[in-house]
Amino acid sequence: MNRRQLLGFIAIMAVVLATGGFLWHRHQQTVASIQLQVREATAGKELFAGLCETCHGPGGDGAGGAPILNDGSVLKTYTTPTSLSAFIQTHMPASNPGMLNSQEATDLALYIFRLNHRFPPAHG
């Protein structure tokens, strides 16, 4: 291998390594984002079962007499996880409004988006 070939080889290796590093980084980001979504979905589900089900029914089916939360109608009023979360934090549970912190309200909002078969981006 002469000097020119050697430099060419080094240049190619640099590109290969940079691309590999970039893809690995993207992969790590995807894994982190999925882990975050799973954590939020689980936390929201548990909170809902403990605090909301008595009035809104299991899975938001309306069995307790309060509005149904899984037929898409609630997302016509609250179109983003942020607006839904703000409403929840200030108004729900109706028996004790204001008891939830913003993380809990966000977890519940994302859970309700999932009940309605909407999957907002992790940072929506």
Total of chain residues touching ligand HEC, rule CB under 6 A: 19
Three-state DSSP class for residue 69:
coil
Residue 75 as a binder of ligand HEC (CB under 6 A): the answer is: no
The residue within the footprint of ligand HEC, chosen from 40, 57, 81, 88 (CB under 6 A), is 88
Whether 87 and 78 have beta carbons less than 8 Å apart is answered as: yes
Q: Using CA atoms, how far apart are residues 61 and 115, in angstroms rounded to an integer?
A: 10
- The burial class, CB within 10 Å (0-12 / 13-18 / 19+), for 113 is buried
Query: Minimum distance between the CB of residue 38 and ligand HEC, rounded to whole angstroms?
Result: 19
Residue range at the interface with ligand HEC (CB under 6 A); choices 3-11, 14-22, 35-43, 52-60: 52-60
Residue 83 as a binder of ligand HEC (CB under 6 A): the answer is: no
What angle do helix axes 81-91 and 102-115 make, rounded to 10 degrees? 120
Q: Which positions touch ligand HEC (CB under 6 A)?
A: 51-52, 54-56, 66-67, 69, 73-74, 77, 87-88, 91-95, 108
